[in-house]
Amino acid sequence: MGDARPATAPVLVAGGGWAGLSAALTLCRHQVPVILVESARQLGGRARSVRSGERILDNGQHLMIGAYQALLTLMKQIGIDVDAAFQRLPLTLQLYRDDAVSLRFRAPTLPAPFHLLGALSAARGLSASERLRALRFSRKVTQLRISAAEDFSVQALLHSHAQSPGLVRKLWEPLCLASLNTPIDLASARLFTRVLQTLFSGSRPDSDLLIPRQELNALLPRPAGEFLEDHGAGVELGQRLTGLEIDAQAIRGAIVGGRRLAASHVILATPHSITRRLLSRHPVLQPLAARLGELGHEPIATVYLQYPPEIALDPIMVGLESGLAQWVFDRRCGGQPGLIAAVISGRGPHQRLPATTLIDAVVAQLKEHFPHWPPPLERRLIREKRATFCARAGIDTWRPANRTPVAGLWLAGDYTATDLPATLEGAVRSGNQCALQLMQSLSETNVVNWVDAHP
């Protein structure tokens, strides 16, 4: 364990998702030489935009909240105007049952935690007793500390706090699926509690919804790539890392695009399934690879439907109580009026449906909720089978640290031990922490203290 060797060659970051970008940017900002290699032809990983005919679509609707501090800080550090990048809305939940609103919950402009307590007290669609139960639970949840080893399901958590089936269905289950992408009977109470604590204990702007005004590529991957290149870092697209060279429990280099690159520090910012494969070839890393094998996956399917531009949602994100899609987003804010993104989070029988059947089912579901909408003009389905790790109870016992048993080999990604579910904030935090630890290990032997030299 541990590492104190100077970086004689640039640090090699493999993977240009938001974790790899965050690691590379942190190193670059501290003037540590860095090369980022990405197997795809573009940066962004699971949070990227793709071309679909004439239009650009995100590979899935991404929502951020005001508590994404690591992400917002990173964006500011590379000169992005975050106020212009996002539309900021107070936390608002609106659910439909058939064609009527069944729950409305909107945080008033009060200081925390009164904004959310106020929202719960005034929530439309909950009975007086449900509001009281929800209020009691939201107060208690801020005090809860659940260890990784003693974790249990969100369903058990809600049951033990007397949350009625209606309350679970209308409020907690949609929130759990949106934040953990894992069904409540499996989902980790520890991680869900962390999410609720962020919402209920943080400052009021922490719970704000941040809706990107641009496509994902423009939000971070493209400006990040430009920043890296402008500051002397190498960015190589279409370059896959296929092997690691390890000798005497230290990294010596890697095989990238068929070439051998010498490296005394490598950050693997690849998805956990790829990382596992790369690690499992080295006996010293097999126990770590076996842990990654426990993380599993949950899918997300996004059905994009283009309606005439006058079709709009108010608020721009609504939940649906029944049917395949749980959340529907109006992409008007991203400059795409009439474009509706219907999101199906987590596993289910829908995974086996052919694309056309799945799209038809979602179109029919939207027609039930919004009977006045005309048929969509265009339709497109994007399925991400491995959207997130499975945030099941006890998952945090398997999530690895950034440091590995091989000197100079580091891990970054949303799946590392960040205390958060698989999110952009988790990915950015992981990359940043990984880079800071790497620089700390360099400074132990180098004259330059990277961290202090460039605060």
Using CB under 6 A, list all residues that contact ligand FAD: 14-20, 37-40, 45-47, 59-60, 62-64, 240-241, 269-271, 274, 300, 302, 384, 387-388, 413-414, 422-425, 427
Shortest spacing between CB 224 and ligand FAD, in angstroms: 11
Q: Which residues of 347-375 are buried (b: 16+ CB within 10 A; e: fewer)?
A: beebeebeeeebbebbbebbeebbeeeee
Tell me the closest approach of the beta carbon of residue 383 to ligand FAD, in angstroms.
9
**Structural contact between residues 244 and 266, judged by C-beta atoms closer than 8 angstroms:** yes
Count of Cβ atoms closer than 10 Å to residue 110 Cβ = 13
Report the nearest approach of ligand FAD to the CB of residue 294 (Å). Answer: 17
Output 40 or 353, the one with its CB closest to ligand FAD.
Answer: 40
How far from chain centre, in Å, is Cα 67? 13
CA atoms of 373 and 366, how far apart (whole Å):
8
Question: Please, which residue, 37 or 119, has the CB nearer to ligand FAD?
Answer: 37
Question: E strands of 322-435, at which residues?
Answer: 327-330, 339-345, 378-388, 409-411
In the complex with ligand FAD, the residue whose CB is nearer, 125 or 271, is: 271
Euclidean distance between CA atoms 151 and 379, whole angstroms: 41
**Alpha helix ranges (H) inside 96-248:** 114-121, 128-141, 154-160, 165-167, 173-180, 189-201, 216-219, 221-230
Find out whether 153 and 186 touch, Cβ atoms under 8 Å.
yes
Is residue 345 classed as helix, strand or coil in its secondary structure? strand
Minimum distance from residue 439 beta carbon to ligand FAD (Å)? 19
* Nearest-approach distance from CB 165 to ligand FAD, in angstroms: 27
Contact 154, 172 (CB under 8 A): yes
Closer of 49 and 163 to ligand FAD (Cβ): 49
> CA neighbours within 13 Å on the CB side: how many for 52?
18
Instruction: Map tokens 């702007």 to a residue.
Output: 205
Quote the tokens at residue 351. Answer: 């995974």
Comparing CB distances to ligand FAD, the nearer of 16 and 376 is: 16
Nearest CB to ligand FAD, comparing residues 113 and 221: 221
Closest by CA position to 274, among listed 245, 298, 240: 240
Q: Find the shortest distance in angstroms from Cβ 347 to ligand FAD.
A: 14
The CB-of-195 to ligand FAD minimum distance in angstroms stands at 11
CB of 300 vs ligand FAD, minimal distance in Å = 4
Cβ 189 to ligand FAD shortest distance, Å: 20
Strand partners, 8: none
Comparing CA positions, the residue from 432, 12, 18 lying closest to residue 223 is 18
- Is the Cβ of residue 40 or residue 135 nearer to ligand FAD in the bound state? 40
- Which residue number, 240 or 367, has a Cβ lying nearer to ligand FAD? 240
Which residue, 138 or 423, is less far from ligand FAD as judged by CB?
423
Q: Which is nearer to ligand FAD, 153 or 270 (CB)?
A: 270
Distance (Å, rounded) from C-alpha 415 to C-alpha 405?
Answer: 18
User: Which DSSP category does 39 fall into?
Assistant: S
CB of 355 to ligand FAD, least distance (A): 16
- DSSP secondary structure code for residue 333 in this structure: G
First-to-final CA distance of the chain: 27
